[in-house]
Amino acid sequence: MASKSFSFAFLLLFFLCTFAAAEPCDNHRFRGGKNFASCIDLPSLNCSLHWNFHSLTQTVDVALRQNSVDQKTRWMSWAINPHSKGMVGSQALVAFQKDDGTMVTYTSPITSYATQLQKGDLSFPVNGVSSILEGNEMIMFATLALPANTTTVNHLWQEGPLVGNVPRMHPCKLVVDKTSSRNQWKVVHGILCTLGWGFLMPVGASIARHGKQWPGTAWFRAHVFSQCSAFLIGLAGGIIGVLLWLGALGARIGGGIHQYIGITLLGLGAIQGIVGYCRPHKEDKKRVYFNIFHCSLGYGTIGLSIANVFLGFHMVHLMIKTWPQVTYIAAISLLGTISLILEGVGCWRRTTVRREIAAEETL
């Protein structure tokens, strides 16, 4: 079986992201509303693999697509080997079209190199096994429950001839590599972007909003430090996201609105930094326009950032009860609560000052 494992810097990143060609696997649209967050074009047999990994249930939805000139006389198979690198011990899914035109899809444990791909139960639960034939393309679907504590697996795929609706031996070819069931780069991307765009950016805005209530300029330095840190951390996460989107780090993640919002955020963050650095002096008449632009763009960026964090959670299927999303919701809710309290304190202070001024004018 064949096998495969699963300023200026900003402008460079932006153009790379915008004009790079999409991988062929990402262009495919499945019928019936099926969507897969990740995909990779396999290096042989005209195959591509699509999948969704559900960390909460330790399951993975997979779809293997193969383009072939004559699917009616060929079978195809995809398997993972949870325990070793060879073909023996692999847990396979097999699909082919019978002479009467119906599709056959079943599971087959590989116990020897002379296997005939007989039907049998796998060493782990499998659901939703099915296949379809669309033109010259065969697609096989399944949901696998990975063994407990699985971090890496070998996955294999192959095709071979059919004789009388029975799979026959394929030409011997074996290449083995490891595929991670948890793409660590996705985790790093998510942590950096959540921390930078989704948390530090709102913190910096809150400092700018409420820090002015106290004397001195410490609030301004804290605001600049928070926003610069947020942008640099978010930029690092964005670069990793672009590399994942291009497939440069192995498994390729899908693009869509999450990707486009991410690119937009990089642009907005860079603009905010440049505008903030070139801000007019306090006594300049143009300062009022700067304040309106800077605040409007800032709050818009924060809104997009928080929305994109939740879109990212959705892409990797982290539902409401998983700890990353619960932790983020708790953190952003705490920040919002503190901001509301400070807003109330600010309103009280401003009201008190106005009353004192009015009393002095009356006297």
Task: Calculate the average pLDDT of the chain.
Answer: 77
pLDDT band with cut points at 50, 70 and 90 for residue 182? very low
Confidence (pLDDT) at 46: 78
Q: What is the mean pLDDT of residues 249-275?
A: 81
Confidence (pLDDT) at 45: 76
pLDDT band with cut points at 50, 70 and 90 for residue 201? very high
Q: What is the mean pLDDT of residues 140-146?
A: 87
pLDDT at 358 over 80: no
pTM for the whole thing? 0.56
- Please give the Cα distance from 10 to 296 (Å, whole number): 22
Q: What is the mean pLDDT of residues 125-152?
A: 81
3-class DSSP string for the chain: CEECCCCHHHHHHHHHHHHCCCCHHHHCCCHHHCCCCEEEECCCCCEEEEEEEECCCCEEEEEEEEECCCHHHEEEEEEEECCCCCCCCCEEEEEEECCCCCEEEEEEECCCCCCCCCCCCCCCCEEEEEEEEECCEEEEEEEEECCCCCCEEEEEEEEEEEECCEECCCCCCCCCCCEECCCHHHHHHHHHHHHHHHHHHHHHHHHHHHHHHCCCCHHHHHHHHHHHHHHHHHHHHHHHHHHHHHCCCCCEECCCHHHHHHHHHHHHHHHHHHHHHCCCCCCCCCHHHHHHHHHHHHHHHHHHHHHHHHHHHHHCCCCCCCHHHHHHHHHHHHHHHHHHHHHHHHHHHHHHHHHHHHHHHHC
Summarised one tens digit per residue, pLDDT across range 2-53 is 443 333 333 333 333 333 333 446 667 787 778 787 777 777 777 888 888 7
Summarised one tens digit per residue, pLDDT across range 297-356 is 999 999 999 999 988 887 665 544 567 788 899 999 999 999 899 888 888 887 887 887
Give the residues across from 63 on adjacent strands. 50, 141
> Above pLDDT 90, what percent of the chain?
20
pLDDT band with cut points at 50, 70 and 90 for residue 204? very high
Lowest mean pLDDT among 24-33, 76-85, 185-194, 211-220: 24-33
Confidence (pLDDT) at 91: 81
Q: What is the mean pLDDT of residues 102-115?
A: 80
pLDDT at 171 over 60: no
Q: What is the mean pLDDT of residues 190-204?
A: 94
CA nearest 95: which of 177, 194, 162?
Answer: 162
* Residue 308 contacts residue 262 (beta carbons within 8 Å): yes
Confidence (pLDDT) at 180: 46
Confidence (pLDDT) at 27: 65
Confidence (pLDDT) at 93: 86
